[in-house]
Amino acid sequence: MLLLSSLLGIFWFVLALCFIYIIVRPQVGGAVYFETNRQDVEIIMRLLSLKSGERVSDLGSGDGRILIASAKKGIEAHGYEIDPLLVWKSRLRIRRARLGHKAYVHWKSFWKVDLSGFDAVVVYGKPGIMERLRKKFESELKPGSRVVSNVYPIPGWQPKLVEKRIQLYVI
Ligand SMILES: C[S@@+](CC[C@H](N)C(=O)[O-])C[C@H]1O[C@@H](n2cnc3c(N)ncnc32)[C@H](O)[C@@H]1O
């Protein structure tokens, strides 16, 4: 009887966690998970034209594909991701690619990150957050920094280049 009620307790606990993960998480101030396809990752890398010694950040780094592409070019890359499963998956992919010395994933909301140490930032957000992101970029990024936004334009900014639906902005 005790075993049965313990099992039931665990079942309800896991169910509650799944509920939080599936229903609540995407509402927490960011974007839901869509992967950037391989061709678009190449476009992003080309638009960023990262140079040796620069640091790049992917805001909402998903499975780490942009971090990995950057690290393969010898660039220090930091991803911020709120989904713990994606944090785990991306860390695994980075370790498998032997890029742990160049690519880092932080389990943290990008709203809580000071971006002033980055030369370039990548984001694949959603319409409702782009205005707030622009204000964050304007107050934290240094002049000359690049921002690449996948799909959603940054309101009030003029892109320097656009390829497919990917925009490059220079501050
Ligand atoms: C559209 S996906 C892009 C994933 C990856 N950058 C790519 O291009 O394949 C957006 C990601 O942002 C994450 N995200 C949403 N809000 C966030 C926040 N406030 N802080 C960190 N990550 C966030 C989501 O979990 C999701 O993985």
User: Cβ distance 154 to 133 under 8 Å?
Assistant: yes
CA of 19 to the centre of ligand 1 (A): 19
CA angle 77-83-88, nearest 5°?
65
Q: Which residues surround ligand 1 with Cβ inside 6 Å?
A: 29-31, 33-36, 58, 60-62, 65-66, 80-83, 86, 109-111, 124
Helix (H) or strand (E) holding 43: helix 38-48
pLDDT in tens, 40-72: 999 999 999 999 999 999 999 999 999 999 999
Please compute, for residue 64, the number of CA atoms within 13 A of its CA located in the half-sphere on the CB side: 28
Three-state secondary structure call for residue 144: coil
User: Cβ distance 153 to 120 under 8 Å?
Assistant: no
Model pLDDT, residue 37:
93
Q: Is the pLDDT reported for residue 160 higher than 60?
A: yes
The protein residue with its alpha carbon nearest to ligand 1, atom 18, reads 109
Three-state secondary structure call for residue 8: helix
Structure tokens at 49: 């034209």
